[in-house]
């Protein structure tokens, strides 16, 4: 026994640590309470010349949508969390958030931190693999509250095993959390709202603190609420981070904004679909990047009806995860199983989430109906129909002349036209029966309308219109 009462002599401690170092377990060795300068001297001599522990390459099977070898997102609390392309959906517990939980906000405002810690414990026990912590409340010293809460949960091994998502709209609060959190956390979030310079400054600081980042689809013009804006901002952010900040792409998590659907405002109907399609685009076009989002936002117009909200979350996640969504901020204890939802409720929720039941007609008029289209133009139109996302019909209006125009490109086209002879009224009928939301592209005036195809996404329909305009059908 040493003079301090420590029950190991310098020789014993140094011999044990040398064995650990020889086995490749040690990066840094040192003493603790009870060891003496003699212990430290003996340890230094015992491990001198031995190589430090080699950092292992994480295992991640398969490739991403672009064929790149998977580079997983590595996080940790007391335990590591490896999120690769082969990982299941990751639940981020949302209840330790003063802006999303009135009960948690009351506990923090009343400084009842012991009960607040119990909320975090409940989230981990319910299946949350990451804990989202947000202290953005006007009546709070948010930086102080963040620091205090993170220090408290760090002392609870059953909570601290999970990585932390430090969530705030204020960088000062995020940085206060980064200074005291253990392991590798996630910063939620940074964005281009204040311009590229501030965006890159925050990204570089996050990397110095050893954190992954959530990047919101938000720029100098505001939040992205359409598919086009979402992918534009995410692509710009990705390029800035990887090319100018040398940020690891696997540590980038995009949040393309989940907004409330079924609000009664038509422009909101496609919010869920736009998020799902943006997710699919990100996973295919931005190598190694991940996707997250605040799931409860999508059902906000049904607040108070927990049964329906749970069904909406479940259906939304079913489609979003299939599109490549990596993680989501959600109450892990209130998620259902897609197949277990009552069939009628699931059908109605599918209609709402996927914006079923509306055929949107994008029409291109030909000014002179007396002037028939030439064979080469009609042939090109035939190719455009074949390129449609959903080839449901090749509609020809009621005019015989329109049908004649379409058949002059040959017998094969005539046969195809006869087999697929469906007019726009039938297309709308399909929509009324619950066919997936689509856009009908047509050309020609009045009854001479020729339908050019159905498209799942408006951008594809608009692209097809641009191609038709290039043929001179204005």
* CA gap 331, 257 in Å, rounded: 18
Q: Does residue 63 belong to any structural domain of this protein?
A: no
Same domain for 378 and 349? no
Domain count of the chain? 3
* CA gap 450, 430 in Å, rounded: 18
Q: Does residue 439 belong to any structural domain of this protein?
A: yes
Query: What pLDDT, on the 0 to 100 scale, is given for residue 304?
Result: 85
Within 10 A of 379 (CB to CB), how many other CB atoms are there? Answer: 14
Region 438-442: what's the mean pLDDT? 57
Q: Does residue 171 belong to any structural domain of this protein?
A: yes
Q: Does residue 67 belong to any structural domain of this protein?
A: no
* CA gap 42, 9 in Å, rounded: 10
Same domain for 395 and 268? no
Query: What pLDDT, on the 0 to 100 scale, is given for residue 7?
Result: 83
Q: What is the mean pLDDT of the chain?
A: 82
Same domain for 157 and 84? yes
Q: Does residue 219 belong to any structural domain of this protein?
A: yes
Strand order in the sheet with 212-216: 290-291, 252-255, 212-216, 186-190, 164-167, 130-134, 90-93, 327-330
Cis peptide bond prior to 189, omega within 30° of 0: yes
Per-residue confidence band for 392, with pLDDT thresholds at 50, 70 and 90 = very low
Same domain for 196 and 229? yes
Same domain for 212 and 149? yes
Out of 353, 385, 410, a domain closes at 353
* CA gap 149, 324 in Å, rounded: 32
Same domain for 288 and 260? yes
Region 171-196: what's the mean pLDDT? 97
Strands 252-255 and 212-216: parallel
Same domain for 146 and 7? no
Query: What pLDDT, on the 0 to 100 scale, is given for residue 246?
Result: 95
Same domain for 365 and 347? no
- Greatest mean pLDDT among 129-143, 353-367, 455-469 lies in 129-143
Same domain for 227 and 80? yes
Q: Does residue 65 belong to any structural domain of this protein?
A: no
Of 451, 455, 449, 463, nearest to 416 by C-alpha is: 451
Q: Does residue 105 belong to any structural domain of this protein?
A: yes
Of 241, 292, 306, nearest to 129 by C-alpha is: 292
* CA gap 409, 47 in Å, rounded: 84
Domain that holds residue 42: 1-55
| Three-state DSSP string of the chain | CCCCCCCCCHHHHHHHHHHHHHCCCCCCCCCCCCCCHHHHHHHHHHHCCCCCCCCCCCCCCCECCCCCECCCEEEECCCEEEECCCCCCEEEECCCECCCCHHHHHHHHCCCHHHHHHHHHHHHHCCCCEEEEECCCCCCCHHHHHHHHHHHHHCCHHHHCCCEEEECCCHHHHHHHHCCCCCECEEEEECCCCCHHHHHHHHHHHHHCCCEEEEECEECCEECCCHHHHHHHHHHHHHHHHHCCCCCHHHEEEECCCCCCCCCCHHHCCHHHHHHHHHHHHHHHCCCCEECCEHHHHHHHHCCCHHHHHHHHHHHHHHHHHHCCCEEEECHHHCCCHHHCCHHHHHHHHHHHCCCCCEEEEEECCCCCCCCCCHHHHHHHHHHHHCCCECCCCCECCCHHHHHHHHCCCHHHHHHHHHCCCCHHHHHHHHHCCCCCEEEEEECCHHHCEEEEEECCHHHHHHHHHHHHHCCCC
Region 379-393: what's the mean pLDDT? 51
* CA gap 226, 278 in Å, rounded: 9
Q: Does residue 68 belong to any structural domain of this protein?
A: no
Query: What pLDDT, on the 0 to 100 scale, is given for residue 183?
Result: 94
* CA gap 247, 238 in Å, rounded: 9
* CA gap 118, 316 in Å, rounded: 29
Tens digit of each residue's pLDDT (9 = 90 or more) over 28-78: 998 888 889 999 999 999 999 999 998 776 665 555 544 556 789 999 999
Query: What pLDDT, on the 0 to 100 scale, is given for residue 85?
Result: 82
Q: Is 410 left (phi over 0), alpha (psi -120 to 50) or beta?
A: left
Strands 222-223 and 218-219: antiparallel
Same domain for 241 and 123? yes
Query: What pLDDT, on the 0 to 100 scale, is given for residue 372?
Result: 55
Same domain for 170 and 296? yes
Of 62, 15, 4, nearest to 37 by C-alpha is: 4
Out of 353, 387, 416, a domain closes at 353
CATH number where 78 lies: 3.20.20.20
Query: What pLDDT, on the 0 to 100 scale, is given for residue 378?
Result: 58
Tens digit of each residue's pLDDT (9 = 90 or more) over 144-156: 999 999 999 999 9
Of 233, 221, 145, nearest to 189 by C-alpha is: 233
Tens digit of each residue's pLDDT (9 = 90 or more) over 116-145: 999 999 999 999 999 999 999 999 999 999
Same domain for 42 and 82? no
Tens digit of each residue's pLDDT (9 = 90 or more) over 223-256: 999 999 999 999 999 999 999 999 999 999 999 9
The CA dihedral of 463, 465, 466, 471, to the nearest 10 degrees, is 140
Of all residues in the chain, what percent carry a pLDDT higher than 70?
71
Region 294-299: what's the mean pLDDT? 95
Query: What pLDDT, on the 0 to 100 scale, is given for residue 387?
Result: 54
Out of 319, 353, 387, a domain closes at 353
> pTM of this prediction?
0.71
Q: Which is more confident, 414 or 68?
A: 68
- Mean pLDDT is lowest, of 58-62, 335-339, 430-434, 449-453, for 430-434
Query: What pLDDT, on the 0 to 100 scale, is given for residue 34?
Result: 84
């Amino acid at each position: 026994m040493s003079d301090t009462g420590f029950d190991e002599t310098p020789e014993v401690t140094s011999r044990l640590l040398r064995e650990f170092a020889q086995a490749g377990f040690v990066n840094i060795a040192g003493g603790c309470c009870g060891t003496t300068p003699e212990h430290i001297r003996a340890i230094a001599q015992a491990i001198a010349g031995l190589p430090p522990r080699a950092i292992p390459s994480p295992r991640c099977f398969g490739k991403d949508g672009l064929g790149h070898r998977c580079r997983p997102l590595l996080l940790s609390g007391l335990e590591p969390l490896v999120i690769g392309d082969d990982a299941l959906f990751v639940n981020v517990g949302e209840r330790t958030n003063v802006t999303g939980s009135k009960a948690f906000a009351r506990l923090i405002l009343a400084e009842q931190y012991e009960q607040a810690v119990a909320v975090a414990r409940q989230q981990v026990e319910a299946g949350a693999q990451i804990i989202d912590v947000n202290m953005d409340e006007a009546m709070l010293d948010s930086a102080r509250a963040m620091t205090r809460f993170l220090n408290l949960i760090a002392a609870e091994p059953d909570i601290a095993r999970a990585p932390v998502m430090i969530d705030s709209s204020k960088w000062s609060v995020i940085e206060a959390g980064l200074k005291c959190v253990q392991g590798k956390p996630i910063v939620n979030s940074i964005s281009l709202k204040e311009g590229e310079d501030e965006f890159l400054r925050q990204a570089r600081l996050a990397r110095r603190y050893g954190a992954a980042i959530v990047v919101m689809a938000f720029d100098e013009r505001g939040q992205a609420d359409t598919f086009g804006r979402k992918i534009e901002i995410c692509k710009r952010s990705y390029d800035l981070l990887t090319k100018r900040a040398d940020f690891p792409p696997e540590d980038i998590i995009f949040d393309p904004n989940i907004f409330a659907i079924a609000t009664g405002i038509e422009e909101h109907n496609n919010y869920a679909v736009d998020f799902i399609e943006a997710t699919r685009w990100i996973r295919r076009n931005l190598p190694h990047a991940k996707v997250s989002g605040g799931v409860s936002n999508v059902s906000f117009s049904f607040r108070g009806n927990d049964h329906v909200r749970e069904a909406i979350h479940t259906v939304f996640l079913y489609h979003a995860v299939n599109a490549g969504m990596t993680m989501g901020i959600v109450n892990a204890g209130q998620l259902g199983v897609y197949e277990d939802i009552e069939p009628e409720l699931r059908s109605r929720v599918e209609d709402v989430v996927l914006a079923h039941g509306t055929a949107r007609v994008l029409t291109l008029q030909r000014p002179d109906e007396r002037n028939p289209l030439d064979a080469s133009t009609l042939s090109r139109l035939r190719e455009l129909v074949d390129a449609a996302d959903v080839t449901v019909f090749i509609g020809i209006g009621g005019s015989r002349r329109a049908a004649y125009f379409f058949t002059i490109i040959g017998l094969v086209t005539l046969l195809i036209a006869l087999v697929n002879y469906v007019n726009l009224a039938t297309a709308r009928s399909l929509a009324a029966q619950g066919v997936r939301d689509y856009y009908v592209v047509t050309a020609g005036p009045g009854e001479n309308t020729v339908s050019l195809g159905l498209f799942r996404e408006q951008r594809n329909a608009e692209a097809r219109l641009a191609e038709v305009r290039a043929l001179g059908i204005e």
